[in-house]
């Protein structure tokens, strides 16, 4: 039995055993000594995906295919009362994720405001470049998800990824770009659908760390076993070009900052002075989180705006800290000046950015002033007076703390004028019993000032 490829696949149909969706080989090797149960969850996800896809083909029967024999995903009208075989039965990643993760089918009619117009949930999930429905806006949105640990923030972000695909991925080709970070791998439950995008010029170190300290650590695992596919990029614009339209893409930063300064110089409308003592705003040796500002520049100014883009960045304070200073690396200039200007243009450039964290005061004030929606999970109160309204919101829609007593997987989405109480599947059991730590390193040794350091010979003398 062969699996029909995803509509965006650019490879011909291949046997099931050849599809790089998730781990398939015995991970116990002399190099790692890794126990097989460390990847059981990944294998189960891959098997479930295959079963789900086969069941879909059996249920649909006759499938419309293109000239290459691939199934055609026909975008359904989100306002339709029902899905017909012509507009809704084509296989999509969004459907597979929804079934495996227990996410209910998105129904926009649930989220009507005051029984008439569309409320904030529809505006948050559905993105339109032209001719949006009444009471919704054109372009992207900037949202901030806040909540304490253990209240469902990570599961909410995975639900957002699925919803963006369901609402926009196969209707408009929206690509979801998940921020990869060495300290976390909450994207792993989405691994069977992920395109992993890594910097071509960086050294990549990967480690599997089990939850229990007594279990062995897996060194240098094969990353192709933890994603549908792995590709490499040359610079921030190329990273976005490598993203799968209508798919989930996990991007890791480039510590060499390849092509970042060239991109900045190609956009004369962005006038930001470099730090003192150097000519370039972006340079090798800069703090790696600065690379995400270059990616945001590529998203806003370096691509075709007709295709929407959704960025999901957990721990956004690491990218846009409020305490960024004018230092040797230009942290203030990149974070507050350039980044602050870029967030103002998200909506009109068809870019959605959903950041997340535990508290908002640690995030750059210039970024927070541009936020359209905030979502507070259980465990974080909502502002109940206009005087307590968060930065950028001149008012609050609340008369009482509607988040009081909520359980993990519940929260409230709000704008200055309106709010909706929401919930999502808090399926923490889908997280594997290990974390995948992927570190990207500059292959050239550099000092604390970012300058290249001399390399010692065997005799210890620098060369």
For residue range 406-463, list pLDDT tens digits in order: 999 999 999 999 999 999 988 666 777 788 999 999 998 765 555 554 433 334 333 2
**Which of the pair, 266 or 111, is modelled with greater confidence?**
266
CA-CA-CA-CA torsion for 82, 86, 91, 93, nearest 10 degrees?
-60
Spell out the long-range contacts of 263-271 with Cβ–Cβ below 8 A and sequence spacing 24 or more. 263/235, 263/236, 263/237, 263/294, 263/297, 263/298, 263/302, 264/294, 264/297, 266/302, 267/297, 267/301, 267/302, 269/301, 270/297, 270/301, 270/338, 270/341
Q: Are 423 and 409 in contact (CB under 8 A)?
A: yes
Lowest pLDDT segment from 185-189, 282-286, 346-350, 433-437: 433-437
pLDDT at position 117 is 59
pLDDT tens string 161-179: 999 999 998 788 999 999 9
In this prediction the pTM is: 0.79
d(CA 24, CA 43): 6
60 vs 106, more confident: 106
Beta pairing class for 14-15 and 229-233 = unpaired
pLDDT (0 to 100) of residue 451: 58
- SS3 per-residue string spanning 340-357: HHHHHCCCCCCEEEEEEE
Q: For 35-73, give one letter per residue: b (16+ CB within 10 A) or e.
A: beebbebbbbbbeebbebbeebeeeeeebeeeeeebbeb
Positive or negative, the CA dihedral 35, 41, 47, 49 is negative
The answer to whether the CB of 165 falls within 8 A of the CB of 103 is no
């Amino acid at each position: 039995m062969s699996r029909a490829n995803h509509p965006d696949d650019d490879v011909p149909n291949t046997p099931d055993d050849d599809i790089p969706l998730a781990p398939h080989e015995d991970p116990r090797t002399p190099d790692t000594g890794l126990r097989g149960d460390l990847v059981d969850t990944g294998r189960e996800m891959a098997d479930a995906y295959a079963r789900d896809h086969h069941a879909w083909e059996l249920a649909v029967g006759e499938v419309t295919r293109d000239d290459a024999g691939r199934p055609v995903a026909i975008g359904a009208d989100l306002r339709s009362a029902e899905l017909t075989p012509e507009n809704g039965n084509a296989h999509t990643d969004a459907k597979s994720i929804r079934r495996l993760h227990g996410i209910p089918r998105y129904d926009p009619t649930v989220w009507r405001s005051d029984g008439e117009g569309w409320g904030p949930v529809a505006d948050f999930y559905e993105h339109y470049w032209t001719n949006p429905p009444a009471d919704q806006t054109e372009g992207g949105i900037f949202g901030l998800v806040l909540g304490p640990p253990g209240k469902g923030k990570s599961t909410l972000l995975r639900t957002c990824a699925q919803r963006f695909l369901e609402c926009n991925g196969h209707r408009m080709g929206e690509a979801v770009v998940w921020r990869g970070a060495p300290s976390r791998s909450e994207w792993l439950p989405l691994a069977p659908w992920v395109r992993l995008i890594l910097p071509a010029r960086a050294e990549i170190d990967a480690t599997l760390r089990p939850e229990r300290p007594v279990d062995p650590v897996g060194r240098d695992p094969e990353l192709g076993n933890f994603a549908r596919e792995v590709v490499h990029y040359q610079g921030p614009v190329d990273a976005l070009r490598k993203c799968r339209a209508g798919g989930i893409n996990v991007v890791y930063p480039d510590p060499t900052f390849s092509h970042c300064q060239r991109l900045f110089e190609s956009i004369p409308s962005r006038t930001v002075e470099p730090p003192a003592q150097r000519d370039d705003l972006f340079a090798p040796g800069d703090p790696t989180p600065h690379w995400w500002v270059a990616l945001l520049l590529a998203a806003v100014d370096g691509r075709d705006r007709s295709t929407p883009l959704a960025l999901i960045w957990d721990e956004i304070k690491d990218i846009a800290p409020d305490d960024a200073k004018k230092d040797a690396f230009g942290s203030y200039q990149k974070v507050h000046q350039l980044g602050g200007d870029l967030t103002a243009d998200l909506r009109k450039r068809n870019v959605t950015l959903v950041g997340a964290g535990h508290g908002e005061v640690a995030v750059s004030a210039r970024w927070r002033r541009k936020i359209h929606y905030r979502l507070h999970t259980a465990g974080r109160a909502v502002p109940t007076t206009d005087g307590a309204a968060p930065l950028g919101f001149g008012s609050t829609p609340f008369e009482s703390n509607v988040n009081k007593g909520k359980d993990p997987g519940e929260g409230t989405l709000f704008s200055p004028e309106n709010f909706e109480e929401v919930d999502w599947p808090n399926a923490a059991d889908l997280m594997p019993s290990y974390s995948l730590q992927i570190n990207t390193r500059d292959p050239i040794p550099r000092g604390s000032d970012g300058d290249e350091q001399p390399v010692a010979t065997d005799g210890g003398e620098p060369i």
